[in-house]
Amino acid sequence: MRFLPRLSTSKGKLRSGVAGGLEVHAATFPRRRDMVLDSALLTHPKELARVLTHEVFHFVWVRLANAKRRSYEELVRLEMAARARGELGWPSQVVKNSLTAEDVAGRSRRWREYACESFCDSAAWLYSGIRSHEEWSLAQRFRSRRRKWFEALIDGGPLVL
């Protein structure tokens, strides 16, 4: 894990200290076992906890069995069928907003990216210790379903991958 100033992305590349691009709080590269966080988070402990929890769960996602990932995908697919609006974080909301029916039906790369970001945002909502955040816009009934899904994943004990 590293901290760098003023993180942004442009053309698929993470940049630090460079004007322009899309501002981001962090980036995780599970296959390289690397995580980069914006150094500005060091002065905002609650936001650091939320972002760090999200990023750690990227490592969890890639280690989950395919059946568990597909189970989470089915959960969010049912939410979309119920026309659930909102999300539990900006990363998943941005991708969700760009999805098409074809993405969902065909498990496109964009759909799988959404499922991963939604999983990580949900984990940050549950486990960061933060009680409220302006990015948490998903209705309570859907939050409850996600909480139950995570409880079943963990099954009252340590997370076994």
Domain that holds residue 57: 46-154
Alpha-carbon distance 93 to 75, whole Å? Answer: 16
Q: Is residue 160 part of a domain?
A: no
Alpha-carbon Rg for the chain in angstroms:
16
Domain boundary among 9, 25, 43: 43
The answer to whether residue 159 sits within a structural domain is no
69 and 33, same structural domain? Answer: no
Per residue in 15-58, pLDDT (tens digit) is 999 888 999 999 999 999 999 999 999 999 999 999 999 999 99
53 in Cβ contact with 47 (< 8 Å): no
The pLDDT tens digits for 1-17 are 999 999 999 988 999 99
Q: What is the pLDDT of residues 65-106, one digit of tens each?
A: 999 999 999 999 999 999 999 999 999 999 999 999 999 999
Find tokens 């933060």 and name the residue: 130
The whole-model pTM stands at 0.93
pLDDT tens digit sequence for 99-136? 999 999 999 999 999 999 999 999 999 999 999 999 99
d(CA 120, CA 50): 10
Contact in structure between 115 and 92 (CB atoms under 8 Å)? no
77 & 133 share domain: yes
